[in-house]
Amino acid sequence: VRIVGISATLPNYKDVATFCRVSLDRGLFFFDNSFRPVPLQQQYIGISETKPLKRFQKSNEICYDKVSSSLRRNAKDQILVFVHSRKETAASARALRDFAMEREEADLFINQDKPETKEALLSESENAVRNLDLKELLPAGLGIHHAGMPRSDRTLVEDMFKAGYIKVLVCTATLAWGVNLPAHTVIIKGTQVYNPEKGRWTEL
């Protein structure tokens, strides 16, 4: 064997195998969810609210409920929340923080297994972070990540998430391109993205 092709996201793997003249019987291997060491569970939640502001508020509330229930089930869990715009990363993270404060669960996002977490988050926020939104949210244990942030801030967030200092990271899809950050729970917040060509929101 001279060449091995691997993909985690290729739906038409048989077409690619045929194009590469690989035998479908002997040279093509497909691994479905039954090969996963940890079973994958998916849940879909629909929001029937039609008014944009109320729909946004409802989606934030549902997001917080899912994040908090996951962290209560296992405090060591880490969570990625994917949103569809740079602006929404900070807006969604603030909503999570505000819900936690309203419900007197402000320490929910702080890693209690690492006594130095609060000090580390505060120190990095004051001394290293350049993005104003991240500077505000990091002390609460919440991170944000999008392509409009300075590279140094994005690297800091990635490193702190890997180290377990950040338990909840709100990000855009650019995080999934070339950055490997395993998480127990992944939330995709909303299925609509703004299409500038059509001048309106469209489904994914």
> What's the pLDDT tens digit per position in 46-68?
988 888 889 889 999 999 999 99
Question: Residue 165 has what pLDDT?
Answer: 95
Beta carbons within 10 angstroms of residue 190's beta carbon: 20
Helix count and strand count (H, E) for the chain: 6, 6
- What average pLDDT does range 128-152 have in this prediction? 96
> What's the pLDDT tens digit per position in 113-129?
888 999 999 999 999 99
- What average pLDDT does range 86-95 have in this prediction? 96
pTM of the model: 0.82
Residues 6 or more apart whose CB falls under 8 angstroms from that of 78 comprise 161, 164, 166, 167, 168, 169, 182, 183, 184, 185
Residues 6 or more apart whose CB falls under 8 angstroms from that of 40 comprise 33
Question: Residue 130 has what pLDDT?
Answer: 96
> What sign results for the dihedral spanned by CA atoms 176, 180, 181, 185?
positive
